[in-house]
Amino acid sequence: MEAESEPWVLATGIPFDDLKGYRLEECVYWILDGLGAKDLEWRVGGVGGGTADGGRDIEAAFYLPDDAGRMERHQWWIECKGRGATVEKEAVVNACNNVTAYPEVERLIIATNSRFSNPTIQWVRDWQASHPQQVIVLWDRAELERMLSRQPSTVLRLFQGGLSLAGKLEAIRERYFNLMEYSSIDQLRAIWAVRDTLDIGPMERIALVANEFAHGDIDERPWCGGDDVHAASGALTMALFNFIYLFSKWTKTGGDEEPFVAMVAYLLSASLRHLDATEVVNLIEVALRAAPDQPMSQENMDYFLGPILDRLNTDLTLVCSADCPRFSRDDSLKGWQEDDPFRRYWSRYGRRGTARPGQVINARLERTNQPCVIGIGLSADERCRIYATDPTVKNLLPYLDVVAAVVRARSPLPRRKNSDIV
């Protein structure tokens, strides 16, 4: 079944009958958030028009441009009516009459997990005709279901069983790009198990890879592995064109940017299994620009790409040298392993905790009279190319050419001849 023919939201997975009180208010709150509402205020505890808050459960504001282009604030009130049967007409009548005391409210939403009777709907229409200054909108169960179907991330937040696998995939993408949040490993495993039946686009693949580096296992679920040329290169293209947006968002929110750095480094190396280094460099130069007709300065390129190249270089130098006769395997393992876990354990009872890891030192003793394990032809006393080639923006093409040679030789299923460097 193709992803586009499968509904994102499974109505049977949303417990509408149980959406009452707090749960209904929570659901409506996050629907409003997904619609772009601002200044959301959940007024827990207000019941009826006689309360200080006028009976409203949630306040929200929407900012829209007027004819002159200025942003105008539009005030909404929302009352939630969780019911086991049809909402009684009296509850709707009271809500409509109460809101007239608050002329600043432009729209009143009355939301229910059940339905409104036809007489109630007709009464609202008649009332609206005589009170045009305030708009009354009824959200019944069918309307809530329709809105939730467009907000898979909200369903994922509130109702784990309410999403199909295609919906879970969309929610993972939406949570990563819009909310800068990660999803559970169980979701990643479920999607991986049926990945061949889903339409995984570049944006979804970026989110999946980032989730793996955040708290999953990219070795267990290599989303850009195999012989699909477009899986890696398509994701890399979209990652580069969204690079500054994502990088800036992670920096501003104070989140850990390491999964983002690792994600781009992985997409870069995976793409080099299929693309020439020249193609990748051209893609980087087109995507990372100060303006459409203005290349980015080398200083800014270093700032953005430096962590990516450092991560890629650290990984490849360690894993490629691990079984190479030119290097000591023990040295490689020391660079890869963390502190002794037995010693680290007792630090949780101390006063200072464990020391922060220092900078990774890639300097190694090398036997230059031994051959390169992946077959790069090295002259007498010539250093390993991956160590000898600086991973910098200034040296980007030669460095990525070396990366391509290493990845193509080392990957389980090489798909093309190694680059001319071999």
In sequence order, what are the beta bridge partners of 139? 111
Left (φ > 0), alpha (ψ -120 to 50) or beta: where does 69 sit?
A: left
- pLDDT, tens digit, 9 for 90 and up, residues 289-341: 878 888 899 899 999 999 999 999 988 888 888 888 988 766 666 555 555 55
Distance CA 228, CA 108 (A): 51
- pLDDT, tens digit, 9 for 90 and up, residues 89-104: 999 999 999 999 999 9
Which pLDDT score, from 0 to 100, does residue 294 have? 87
Distance CA 282, CA 207 (A): 24
- pLDDT, tens digit, 9 for 90 and up, residues 41-65: 987 655 544 344 445 789 999 999 8
Question: What is 16-154's CATH topology?
Answer: Trna Endonuclease; Chain: A, domain 1 (3.40.1350)
Phi, psi dihedral angles at 87 (to 5 degrees): -65, 130
- pLDDT, tens digit, 9 for 90 and up, residues 341-365: 556 656 666 666 666 555 555 556 8
Phi, psi dihedral angles at 272 (to 5 degrees): -70, -5
For residues 159, 160, 163, 166, the Cα torsion angle rounded to the nearest 10 degrees is: 150
Element holding 139 (H helix, E strand): strand 135-139
Which pLDDT score, from 0 to 100, does residue 227 have? 80
- pLDDT, tens digit, 9 for 90 and up, residues 122-178: 999 999 999 999 999 999 999 999 999 888 888 878 886 677 888 889 889 988 998
| DSSP character at residue 12 | G
Pairing relationship of beta strands 71-81 and 58-65 according to DSSP bridges: antiparallel
Which pLDDT score, from 0 to 100, does residue 56 have? 72
User: Does 264 have pLDDT greater than 90?
Assistant: yes
Distance CA 249, CA 408 (A): 33
- pLDDT, tens digit, 9 for 90 and up, residues 10-23: 666 688 888 888 88
Q: Look-up: residue for tokens 């890869």?
A: 336
Any idea where the domains of the chain sit in the sequence? 16-154, 161-334+366-410
CB within 8 A of 189, min separation 6: which ones? Answer: 221
The two three-digit tokens of residue 173, written as one number:
């993408």
CB-CB contact of 182 with 176 (8 Å): yes
Q: Strand order of the sheet with strand 135-139?
A: 38-42, 58-65, 71-81, 107-112, 135-139
- pLDDT, tens digit, 9 for 90 and up, residues 168-221: 898 899 889 987 889 889 889 999 999 999 999 999 999 999 999 999 999 999
Which pLDDT score, from 0 to 100, does residue 403 have? 95
Which pLDDT score, from 0 to 100, does residue 2 have? 42
Which pLDDT score, from 0 to 100, does residue 160 have? 67
Which pLDDT score, from 0 to 100, does residue 334 have? 59
pLDDT interval class at 414 (50, 70, 90): very low
CB-CB contact of 386 with 327 (8 Å): no
Which pLDDT score, from 0 to 100, does residue 1 have? 38
- pLDDT, tens digit, 9 for 90 and up, residues 221-238: 999 988 888 899 999 999
Distance CA 70, CA 68 (A): 6
User: Does 255 have pLDDT greater than 80?
Assistant: no
User: Does 274 have pLDDT greater than 70?
Assistant: yes
Alpha helices, DSSP H only, in 20-117? 22-35, 89-99
Phi, psi dihedral angles at 74 (to 5 degrees): -120, 120
Distance CA 306, CA 317 (A): 16
Pairing relationship of beta strands 294-295 and 289-291 according to DSSP bridges: antiparallel
In the chain, what are the helix, strand and coil shares in percent, each to the nearest 5?
Answer: 50, 10, 40
Average model confidence (pLDDT) for the chain?
84
